[in-house]
Amino acid sequence: MITRRQLLGGLAVAASAPTARAAVSATSPGAFETEEILCCYAARPDFKKTSALRAPDPLALSATQAIIDLIGMRPVFHVHEADFNNGSVAFAAVRTRERHVVYDAKWFPFEEKGLGWYMVAILAHEIGHHIYGHTNGVGATRHRDELDADRFSGWAVARLGGAEEHALSFAPRLTLAATPSHPARPDRIEAYREG
């Protein structure tokens, strides 16, 4: 678990700052279409349920703010919480220039466990897709994009005071072999390390 002091020491401030609030959608964007999804971490969500998104936990917002503060970006992400309960951890989506990050409440139990490094690493991965301006794709391009997002995540965790083990804390759960959407686990671990 990360203390507020560790994560830039300014998370509590970030959560209440007007700029942080700008990253939250007041209302759900409605159901996402498959072609709007840039990346699904671990498993694809049930897209029918993406119409039931809700406002994020303040810690998710603080972590997002801390990550984009690293690169001096103004908050341009909408963060949402969802209950997919199907193994889906998080995903990134883009719709008409609006960029979204959605996480599953089961994998991000903020009230119970606080903010864990694996949560920061996954949010940073999804934010990385947005920063790179990735679009939905397949094959080799898709894999290269995933490694870029992993590398950004490793970089962000390190800048936020995390160690290599923190950046890789979710790695044992990644698919060992490559899939059409994601590279093999060893390649992804290497990218996180590079970051």
User: Using CB under 5 A as the criterion, which residues of the chain lie in contact with Zn ion when the complex forms?
Assistant: 39, 146, 149
Of 166 and 188, nearer to Zn ion (C-beta) is 188
Please state the closest distance from residue 48 (CB atom) to Zn ion, in A.
22
Closer by beta carbon to Zn ion, 4 or else 44: 44
Q: Residue 85 is encoded by which pair of tokens?
A: 């309960």
Cβ 185 to Zn ion shortest distance, Å: 14
Choose between 25 and 181: whose C-beta lies nearer to Zn ion: 181
**How far is residue 177 CA from its own chain's centroid?**
22
Q: How many residues does the chain have?
A: 195
State the CB neighbour count (10 A cutoff) for residue 141: 11
Asked if residues 90 and 126 have their Cβ atoms less than 8 Å apart, the reply is yes
What is the distance between the alpha carbons of residues 155 and 195, in angstroms, rounded to a whole number?
4
For Zn ion, the nearest residue by Cβ is: 39
Please identify, using beta-carbon distances, which residue of 59 and 149 lies nearer to Zn ion: 149
Distance of closest approach, residue 13 Cβ to Zn ion, in angstroms: 29
What minimum distance in Å lies between the beta carbon of 140 and Zn ion? 15
